[in-house]
Structure 1
Amino acid sequence: MGRTLTRADIVERVWAATGMSRPRAAQCVEALLDLMKEALRREGRLLFSGLGLFDCRAKGPRRGRNPAAGEALMLPGRRVVAFRTSRKLRALLVCPGTGTGGDAPGPQAGPEGDAA
């Protein structure tokens, strides 16, 4: 696998593709990320056609263990963000010869009809 794509890499690619100034490209990327975070905070879902679905899920409290003391404790519930790829993206990620996306689960139809 290659290097991880960072926020700075995205800004650089937006700058190169659009010809806008680097500060303006950085503002655009930040504005998009802010919109995404706000949508997840308010609605709990974010659908990008052709990419996939970001979905906030509530996880209940669970038993844990303090590794230093070895004592059992209850960890509070929390919200997590799950991402599910669209069929289009999943098709692009197919590993040659295996017909799968590596360790990713196979195609599944989702509640949104997986129209992404």
Structure 2
Amino acid sequence: MNKRELIATIAESADCTKVAAARALDSVLANMARAMERGERVTLSGFGSFRVVERAEQKGRNPQTGSALIIPAHNVVKFRPGKKLSAKFKLQ
């Protein structure tokens, strides 16, 4: 599912226009991004949580030339699924 399909699904289930659904989704995503920029964890009960973690500097290789290089330290967003979401995908 891409963003356009998600907006259409939201609009249908909330009985609103696609424009309103897009505005609401964009607002939610922007607020989540701002919270993570401040170092906060974003938790959606039953779905999961998003947080920013720092990756340390590490050694890597250029796949085209094979030469060694240093990948600088950087931040990445990590997602941890909640119990309800995880339970839907467990093998029985």
Verify: 1:22 aligned to 2:29, yes or no: no
Verify: 1:48 aligned to 2:76, yes or no: no
Read off the aligned partner of 2:28 and give its amino acid letter: L
Return the TM-score normalized by structure 2.
0.89
Bigger strand fraction: 2
Bigger helix fraction: 2
For 1:59, which of 55, 59, 84 is the aligned residue? 55
Whole-angstrom distance in 1 between the partners of 2:67 and 2:85: 44
Read off the aligned partner of 1:74 and give its amino acid letter: I
Identity %: 28
Deviation, 1:19, is 1.8
1:100 aligned residue: none
Deviation, 1:91, is 1.5
2:30 aligned residue: 34
Whole-angstrom distance in 2 between the partners of 1:6 and 1:84: 20
Report the 3-state secondary structure (helix = DSSP H, G, I; strand = E; otherwise coil) of the residue aligned with 1:53.
strand
Deviation, 1:66, is 2.0
Deviation, 1:13, is 0.9
- The number of residues matched between the two structures is 92
Q: Which has the higher contact order (CA 8 A, sep 6+)?
A: 2
Return the TM-score normalized by structure 1.
0.72
